[in-house]
Structure 1
């Protein structure tokens, strides 16, 4: 096969494009945030202190396209005895539907937390550093008479002593279904 300057140039462009794509993919994987990335951020998030007493949260669920599908308010009450906490969450959705979730939380030390709830499969795992917490769990989500096991990857950021922002990615089989965004306020 005879190569012309145009063919060689085309091959170089294809190889350069493939290399750039591979580097972009590797850079994307390498740059995934970790709780340690926020270790120097203040104020420091301590779940026992923040989720103790009454709170209120306002939130939205957006689909993959970014369209708001649901709005909701959550009234929360947290109580702790030693390293074990109970966080009661009462959800009220804009369509009038109500839900309740009660978490049992455990402070494992060194910024590590675990949690269980009736609609959570297994045990949630959390890791806090600085003002951030990454909270991962599988939720049994009822939809139109069926129950789906959906993975949540929550990131919480303490903005000040009263305000906590939460952004959660919902996925199934690694495919993003949507996001939940919440703003918590200590009362």
Structure 2
């Protein structure tokens, strides 16, 4: 086999690298200048309500739910209690233990989160990544979440979380938070 000429090979690798870079998603820095500025300690303090849906990878809504939340902070340490009510009558409770770090970084733990959630807030957005132990048909799947939140105003925040396993898209969770 004849080796490929070096110049076309380098050009092909450069083109592939640029194509992959073009596929990269947004970063928190992309929202650094957006207002209002999201401060989790302010927004997730006190009672909130959220309404959401889970859509499968085809976009079909397969589950609807409402969440009652209560957040409390003591300095850089916060607790966010979430009580879910699903359209099929099921309920679920998740309690997040959050820590604010430097430069808008946050970490979080909950009983059904594998390891630690890590995120960063910039401008009006927060990107939060974690693995959730999700019960499915009597088994538990470890599902990765790429979770984005955008503060719309002082009362409304929108949330979109992509779910995947082994890099395969499983669906999305979309939520609208409302602060009274």
TM-score (norm 1): 0.86
Query: For 2:88, which of 86, 89, 95 is the aligned residue?
Result: 95
Query: For 1:28, which of 8, 22, 26 is the aligned residue?
Result: 22
TM-score (norm 2): 0.89
- 2:3 aligned partner: none
TM-superposed CA distance for 1:32, in Å, is: 1.9
Query: For 1:163, which of 156, 161, 170 is the aligned residue?
Result: 156
Query: For 1:54, which of 29, 47, 51 is the aligned residue?
Result: 47
Alpha-carbon distance between aligned partners in 1 of 2:111 and 2:129, rounded to the nearest angstrom? 16
Cα gap change, 1:24 to 1:48, in 2 (>3 Å): same
CA RMSD of aligned residues (A): 1.6
- What are the within-5 Å matches in structure 2 for residues 10-159 of structure 1? 22=16, 25-29=19-23, 31-159=24-152
CA radius of gyration, larger in: 1
Q: Which runs of 5+ in 1 are unaligned?
A: 1-17
| SS of match in other structure, 2:30 | helix
Alpha-carbon distance between aligned partners in 1 of 2:70 and 2:128, rounded to the nearest angstrom? 19
The count of residues paired between Structure 1 and Structure 2 equals 168
TM-superposed CA distance for 1:22, in Å, is: 4.3
Alpha-carbon distance between aligned partners in 2 of 1:22 and 1:82, rounded to the nearest angstrom? 46
Q: Which runs of 5+ in 2 are unaligned?
A: 1-11
